[in-house]
A and B are shown apart, each in its own frame.
Chain A
């Protein structure tokens, strides 16, 4: 496979349109880990046009809820959770400027349409490689919704976080293009 492309956050349209489905990337910078419950809250705030706990513009959200931090580590084990559960909320967040999402699994047609419209990008991280991914998280803090425990919003500073471009801004989707090549 080709060498991984190093990218930094925040993302902008220029950076996003250069990435193609199938590219390996290594992400450096701040990303936000949030999942079901926090998405629900953010979605409700957007609907009411209220201030959000994070400024979404150019940011990458990582669908994840880490394990508690073991002493001597900067972060617990943290791999992607299945993205489709966040689909109902995602178009709203993309409209608000969210540029990248890291998760695993299929996305709905509405989300893919919104990714294309907003020139955003969906990365797949390998599910179940939580100890490995945790090594790329150099700093971790809960910045909102502490009451949600594992489902709080975490701000991670990551270096060389490994991911694969899964759905690019043109809507090319690895989950659609790759399996047919191996079907018998």
Chain B
């Protein structure tokens, strides 16, 4: 049994949201620089240059990479030997997010009552929280400030088993094609296959922030990732959708067992920033 004070969670969440909003992942940065060299479209190269320069400025000066500092998405894996003391777990996460968005000069983009009043909550909370219990005595955090330019382009299809892997490929490519310039290409595409409708989308979102271009361990799914990435880049949408051969930087698929009658396929689209930060207590 290991005691962890709630305040530690609050502080870690705060630190991670600041980190994610200012500092781009270094592997992704290298990929962007590679893309800038490989892209043949002059406008595409210009766009990638701007993105690279922007990310350097944001990191150096600790200002937000993008004005859409996103919804505060948090994945927490709590070790089952952990005993949380001195406060409320959910409240701590929301408080950590609130403090990050307040003190970090991040934008407050959350409205309550989405269908009618849409009044800004002024705190960028409530956070979107996913919690899992895992073996051990640590708490692992993954935060993703998720902007909605990309989120709005996400989609889910409840395919028939007969649609098969071809159906998966077609749906993902079609989703990216429909999105065009809107999600700020070059995008990182998370795909969730299997589970239920909701679970597919959750694993799709988590898949976005896997180590960039690390293929799925299953070679058949890895081949699918490659096939989808090639077909997406053959669309010619390009950086900022202004034409080019790099429309997506990576496609990450994650999969789960599913029902005998189903083939849920969820596509969670992410922009070229793919903001995230991880920590452990």
Contact = CB atoms under 8 A, between A and B. Distances in A.
User: At the interface, is chain B mostly helix, strand, loop or mixed?
Assistant: loop
Contact of A1 (B46, B106, B182): B46
B184 A77 contact: no
Interface residues of B, number: 48
Contact of A182 (B118, B245, B273): B245
Interface in B15-48: 40-43, 46-47
Contact of A135 (B40, B57, B241): B57
Interface in B120-145: 120, 122
A65 B107 contact: yes
A145 to B, nearest CB: 12
Nearest to B233: A184
A1 B42 contact: yes
B252 interface: no
Contacts of A179: 235-238, 241, 243
A81 interface: yes
B57 A132 contact: yes
Contact of B149 (A81, A124, A148, A178): A81
Contacts of B234: 183-184
B105 A127 contact: no
A180 B234 CA distance: 10
B64 to A, nearest CB: 4
Given A65-B67, A127-B271, A132-B54, A164 B242 contact: yes
B236 A132 contact: no
Given A82-B149, A104-B181, A179-B237, A128 B66 contact: yes
Contact of B184 (A76, A127, A181): A127
Given A67-B67, A73-B63, A76-B67, 17 more contacts: A65-B109, A77-B58, A79-B66, A104-B184, A106-B182, A106-B241, A128-B273, A129-B53, A130-B64, A131-B61, A151-B120, A164-B46, A178-B43, A179-B243, A182-B243, A182-B244, A183-B234
Interface of B: 40-43, 46-47, 50-51, 53-54, 57-58, 61, 63-69, 105-109, 118, 120, 122, 149, 152, 180-182, 184, 234-238, 240-245, 271-273
